[in-house]
Chain A
Amino acid sequence: MRRIKFRLTSGSSAAAGKLMQDGISSTQLLQMLLQREKLLYQNYPLSLAQGEGMIGWKDRNRECAWLCTATRRLGLDSDSTSLAVSIFDRVVTSVRIPSKYVNCVAVGSLSIAKKLLEDHEEDAPVFLNRLRTEYSSQELKRMEIKILEVLQWDANLPHLYRIVECLLSELGASFLMPSIKKHLEFLLCDSVLTSNFRWSVLAICTVSLLVEATNKHWQHPISALARACKISMSEINRCRTKVSSLWSRHMLPMPSTFHLLADLDDQDSDLDSDSMHTYNRSSILPAPSSDAPEYITSPAPRALQPTPC
């Protein structure tokens, strides 16, 4: 009886294999993502190639902030941002990149993420125009190929957003995703966190802070998730401190009960505010293409064309 009670409170009933609406178990999906992550990201902390004129962590953070802004401007989903950052990070930590080309790499990463995750086919000039960049379509194509070569044509990388979504799905709380969208974006843009902790660790920390805000017995479900993900609680605690300090530093509201119960539409409208721009400007110079806070009215994306019968 006691065990049953624990399972109910800890959320490990979800860990037993809660089926999502499509019959895919979130546990299976999480395990697959963790396996891929373990395979791809073996050495932490990540480091950048050093040298004169080479990209530094500040450049990386600036471009990630730009990616978040650009994704919102294009009307793409958050998982595209997260995958773009994942691709971008993998490229910049694998090869030497002069800082003057870093925005081009970011554009290429975003383009690949969009092509993998979004079902809207869009011509390259339209995409570049909407991003307000001056690269040509040829340059974008060449950059995409270079990035894919670095990734060995495996661009379907595990990323923060997807793991958080899986973890919340395990707890039966995937409806909370929109309320922490902004929090996730700040995580993506902080190299101190992303270079030192795997996506899975960051995801569990985020979920733990979310659960802590709603339930004082947060340790039980989080330790169950940590066991499932084979991550030590000490690492999670270390990361939690840094994550909460990052959020408080940028005056983001901690995900409280009141905050979570607030209208999600309001949360979405909050995201359009220039908080990320504030972040950019306060810490680093914004990218040339990111200094357009207003929403761009652009042509509706063309629907994906089916193959002919």
Chain B
Amino acid sequence: MSGVLLVFESFDLKKSINNQYDFFRLFAQMWGKITSHIGVWFGLEETERPMRASCSLSMIHHPQLTTVRNSKSSENLHRSSSIFTLRRSRNKEKKYKTNGSKQSPLSKNGSTEMTQSWHSSQVNGTTSSGSGSTPEHHNKNIFSFLSRQSRSRSNNPSETLSTTKTSPSTMPPPPSSSTVADFTHLRKRRPRSAHYDPNTITLPAKEEVTPQDVNDLYRRIEKLGEGSYATVYKCESKLDGSIVALKEIKLQFQEGLPFTAIREASLLRNLRHANIVSLHDIFYQHHQLTFVFEYMKMDLSKYLEQNVYGLDSIDIKLLLFQLLRGLDFCHRKKILHRDLKPQNLLLDDDGVLKLADFGLARAKSVPSRTYSHEVVTLWYRPPDVLMGSTDYSTSLDMWGVGCIFAEICTGTALFPGSKDSHYPGTKDQLDMIFSIRGAPDEKKWPEVKNLPAYQPELFPRYRELSFIAVNPMFTKILKTGQELLGMLLQLRPESRVSAASAMLHPYFASFPREIHLLAPNQSIFRLRELRDLRSL
């Protein structure tokens, strides 16, 4: 088209000479026109093209020009010029055409409206994206910015370093609240070509995917328990009919997010085991935090209430092994449960035991860190922690296992002490422990002297008793069981048996060897021999 236009320009030029115009002025005019057309080829803006409107627009009204415009080659030329132009220059071109047909007011109005509507929709989109990047627009409240979609380009301070966008696989999925179409991924996939201009493509606005209401997903069946911190409901999923337990933590009256919730969520996210309760989902709605757990029929303390003289020997063995198996998995992941007690051990209909309530749990660090000694319910707290030790480790949980082992044998707690007024309020509990396990021997346990609340003069010189002497019900676990119980209830923490070693104790010799080869997510009742044994 521009070649043809140049022909007409030369016609214009002759006419000008005939009219005795100044030669230099005409030369300048001609030069301006040439540069103007070169500008069109290279997609320069109107303001950047000198003398753009004068000649070209006049040529539009030339009688020969219509045939040129309708020709295929002119369209091809126009298309090839779009290689160099982005949307804005195309827009100008539309305006240019529109201005060319100025004579018809109807067409003028119509085309202006169309242009404006098309343009305004784009502008709105652009504006929204542009304003989206400014905090004034998309941050009505100060926290809403966190739900913005990331459209990052590197802002790396080191100039020599390459810039890569954070992979979606490593990033949490972007929230879908934004209506701004992001073409970054399109640009990455397709090379820019003459027939593809990503800036001109408009995608439909992303659907607002609002997070589903937990009440729409689950139907409450019954309340399982209520405390000052949370309420637990038995619920049915409306999607697949599965039964789950919803733990609702009310936050509106709490000043901060409870540390128990953060720990439980953070730790259970990485613990998938057949003997650890599964955390399916987390919701934060209506000023409350809801944890969706797998449903378990009851806890061990309720089961013990139904069996006041303890459980059958085979059930004791099965439950203890599952407890050790779940705990060993935690300890391998360097996580201390720190609140083992029958209330936190859940049972299902098949006799599967699962560890629950990781609100006091913590990831075990290297030994330099000290922890609070105010952990674990008093009855299940080991003597070293009762005497103020703060550098405990997995042995803390193993004492609790021993107490639970004894409790499921007899049906009653082995050390049911009470908190007393004497500092640090653990004298009664320690007295109960020493009366059965004997007073600490400084030769066997030299570190005891360094414990802050070690006061040997407060206690009589107790001697260690056999478990049968304490309660004849211990006969049901035989000698091997009593030996294992003694290994779990060692006063000195370093002498306590670990969960992994306890599972290899002869007490469990009757179990098939394959039990040690099961995958973490496989229940021990996958083995037929054990399925036949259980009586729960």
Listed in ascending order, the chain A residues whose CB lies under 8 Å from chain B are 20-24, 26, 28-29, 32, 36, 40-43, 45-54, 56-58, 77, 79, 91, 93-98, 100-101, 104, 111-112, 115-117, 119-121, 123-125, 127, 137, 139-156, 162, 165-166, 169, 174, 177, 191-192, 195-196, 303-309
A306-B376 in contact (CB<8A): yes
Partner of B161, one of A24, A45, A58, A305: A45
Partner of A127, one of B155, B251, B256, B363: B256
Most buried by B among A41, A54, A120: A54
| CA gap between A100 and B150 in the complex, in Å | 17
Partner of B134, one of A53, A124, A151, A166: A53
Q: Which A residues are CB-close (under 8 A) to B147?
A: 95, 146
Q: Which B residues are CB-close (under 8 A) to A23?
A: 393-395, 498
Partner of A174, one of B254, B263, B270, B366: B366
A123-B256 in contact (CB<8A): yes
A150-B162 in contact (CB<8A): no
B421 proximal to A (CB < 8 A): no
- Indicate whether A152 sits within 8 Å of B269 (C-beta atoms), given known contacts A100-B135, A115-B257, A116-B262: yes
For A39, give the chain B residue with the smallest CB separation: B170
B255-A124 in contact (CB<8A): yes
A96-B145 in contact (CB<8A): yes
- Indicate whether A155 sits within 8 Å of B266 (C-beta atoms), given known contacts A96-B152, A195-B156, A306-B377: yes
A156-B162 in contact (CB<8A): no
Listed in ascending order, the chain B residues whose CB lies under 8 Å from chain A are 133-135, 139, 142-143, 145-158, 161-167, 169-172, 251, 254-257, 259, 262-263, 265-267, 269-270, 282, 284, 289, 331-334, 339, 341, 360, 362-369, 371-372, 374-379, 381, 391-395, 494, 498
- Indicate whether A309 sits within 8 Å of B377 (C-beta atoms), given known contacts A47-B163, A156-B363: yes
B150-A96 in contact (CB<8A): yes
Q: Which B residues are CB-close (under 8 A) to A95?
A: 145-148, 150
- Indicate whether A43 sits within 8 Å of B167 (C-beta atoms), given known contacts A116-B266, A192-B157: yes
Most buried by B among A115, A151, A165, A196: A115
Would you give the shortest CB distance from B266 to chain A, in whole angstroms?
4
A50-B152 in contact (CB<8A): yes
B372-A29 in contact (CB<8A): no
Q: Which A residues are CB-close (under 8 A) to B367?
A: 20-22, 174
| CA gap between A152 and B174 in the complex, in Å | 12
Please name 6 further chain A to chain B contacts, defined as beta carbons within 8 Å, in addition to the given A150-B172, A177-B368, A306-B378, sorted by A numbering: A43-B164, A43-B165, A45-B154, A95-B145, A116-B262, A154-B265
Partner of A57, one of B156, B163, B171: B156
Would you give the shortest CB distance from B363 to chain A, in whole angstroms?
6
B161-A196 in contact (CB<8A): yes
A79-B394 in contact (CB<8A): no
Most buried by A among B251, B257, B282: B257
A24-B394 in contact (CB<8A): yes
| CA gap between A48 and B148 in the complex, in Å | 13
Q: Which B residues are CB-close (under 8 A) to A50?
A: 152-155
Partner of B267, one of A79, A156, A174: A156
| CA gap between A206 and B148 in the complex, in Å | 36
| CA gap between A146 and B172 in the complex, in Å | 12
Q: Which A residues are CB-close (under 8 A) to B167?
A: 42-43
Partner of A305, one of B150, B363, B374, B392: B374
| CA gap between A104 and B379 in the complex, in Å | 41
- Indicate whether A47 sits within 8 Å of B154 (C-beta atoms), given known contacts A119-B372, A141-B255, A165-B366: yes
Would you give the shortest CB distance from A119 to chain B, in whole angstroms?
3
For B494, give the chain A residue with the smallest CB separation: A21
A307-B339 in contact (CB<8A): yes
- Indicate whether A162 sits within 8 Å of B151 (C-beta atoms), given known contacts A53-B134, A116-B263, A140-B256: no
A42-B377 in contact (CB<8A): no
18 A-B pairs (CB sep. < 8 Å): A22-B364, A43-B165, A45-B162, A47-B155, A50-B153, A96-B150, A115-B257, A115-B263, A116-B262, A116-B362, A125-B255, A144-B262, A149-B172, A166-B366, A174-B367, A192-B157, A192-B158, A303-B372
A79-B369 in contact (CB<8A): yes
For A112, give the chain B residue with the smallest CB separation: B262
For A29, give the chain B residue with the smallest CB separation: B334
B166-A46 in contact (CB<8A): yes
Would you give the shortest CB distance from A197 to chain B, in whole angstroms?
11
Q: Which A residues are CB-close (under 8 A) to B161?
A: 45, 196
| CA gap between A212 and B417 in the complex, in Å | 54
Q: Which B residues are CB-close (under 8 A) to A148?
A: 257, 262, 265
For A45, give the chain B residue with the smallest CB separation: B161
Would you give the shortest CB distance from B148 to chain A, in whole angstroms?
5
Q: Which A residues are CB-close (under 8 A) to B366?
A: 20, 26, 29, 162, 165-166, 169, 174
Partner of B377, one of A117, A143, A308: A308
Partner of A47, one of B148, B164, B368: B164
B145-A97 in contact (CB<8A): yes
For B161, give the chain A residue with the smallest CB separation: A45
B146-A150 in contact (CB<8A): yes
Q: Which B residues are CB-close (under 8 A) to A116?
A: 259, 262-263, 266, 362-363
A101-B377 in contact (CB<8A): no
Q: Which A residues are CB-close (under 8 A) to B150?
A: 49, 94-96
| CA gap between A146 and B165 in the complex, in Å | 22
Q: Which B residues are CB-close (under 8 A) to A177?
A: 368
- Indicate whether A307 sits within 8 Å of B368 (C-beta atoms), given known contacts A41-B170, A156-B267: no
Q: Which A residues are CB-close (under 8 A) to B157?
A: 57-58, 191-192, 195
| CA gap between A174 and B365 in the complex, in Å | 12
Partner of A32, one of B145, B265, B334, B392: B334
The 4 closest A-B pairs by CB, nearest first: A22-B393, A119-B372, A124-B256, A115-B259
Q: Which B residues are CB-close (under 8 A) to A117?
A: 362, 365, 369
B152-A153 in contact (CB<8A): no
A96-B374 in contact (CB<8A): no
Partner of B266, one of A119, A156, A174, A303: A156
Would you give the shortest CB distance from A301 to chain B, in whole angstroms?
10
Q: Which A residues are CB-close (under 8 A) to B289?
A: 145
